[in-house]
Amino acid sequence: MSHKAKEMISYAILVSISLIFIFPLIITVTNSFVTEMEIGLNYTTKLSLFDVLDQVSENFISMNIIPSQFSFGQYKEVLINQPSFIILLMNSIKITVPVVIGNLVISLLSAYAFTIWEWKYKEVLFFVYVIVMLMPLQAVLVPNYIIAEQLNIKESYLAIILPGIFSPFGTFLLRQGLKNMPMEYFEAAQIDGANKIQVLVYIVLPQMKSGIAALTMLTFIEYWNLVEQAIIFIKDYYKEPLSVFLSRIADGNIGVIFAASCIYMFLPFWFLIVGQKNLEKGIELSGIK
């Protein structure tokens, strides 16, 4: 087999795999423009002949990529006739934006300190950062809950925001990027009389734009999609983020589930499209495989 034939087969396999993964996204977007009646007809329980013979009842759906009748009814229902959707969307923003901003500030300062300051137990402390970062979410939820209860913030957004701000992943990501910067930059700036803050503002920040952009996108997507923390700490229905609401929206109104999902995933999808190059470069500079 020639090299060109092998290359074409590889491309065909990659395209097929890509279509498999992107198919749910296509279905979600196209079905957000169908009518509620069509959703009710397509996404209902149907039995095949084999199921009847085997006396088994399963849920079958008829997924259509192209709507038989184009309509903006779902979006109108979600954005105009359901004020609670907008409230829950704002709740997600109230949680995500403070976490992103706070984590950027803390991570940048701590990564900068780990890079330029020399002290005895620096690497030991950074090793602790890595250990905490590798712990699964379920392992840290219990201590977070205990601390939130002691601080009397158990049922507020702060119980979610504070652990997010001090997440060690941002420090790890930015420090790995800073380690790739030549130390001559720092030494030259200090010789010219620049202090630590000036070095951070005029030397580090311009060099770390890709890493900062990557951390912003990764943190935003993580906390925009949070579910476990919200279920544990938020008891009031009107304070829940949209990610929790979408997990049960089909129980009450299946006619708007596709439009609600499209609106919900718009911001993360926009971030990934606009910042794809920065995300790739930031992760590449950090050395993460």
Convert the pLDDT of each residue in 69-100 to its tens digit. 788 888 888 888 877 888 888 999 999 999 99
Structural domains for the chain: 3-71 (no CATH), 79-286 (1.10.3720.10)
For residue 252, the tally of other CB atoms under 10 A from its CB is 10
Query: How far are the Cα atoms of 47, 48, 63, 80, 127 from residue 246, in angstroms, in the given order?
Result: 27, 30, 20, 17, 38
CA distance 53 to 163: 54
Instruction: State the Cα–Cα distance between residues 80 and 76, nearest whole angstrom.
Output: 5
The Cα–Cα gap between 28 and 35 comes to 13
Contacts 24+ apart (CB under 8 A), 132-139: 132/168, 133/167, 133/168, 133/169, 133/172, 137/228, 137/229, 138/228
- Quote the CA–CA distance of 111 and 174 in Å, as a whole number: 6
Checking 12-21 for CB contacts under 8 A at 24+ apart, the result is none
pLDDT in tens, 246-281: 877 666 667 788 888 888 888 888 877 776 676 666
**Range ranked top by mean pLDDT from 75-84, 160-169, 184-193, 234-243:** 160-169
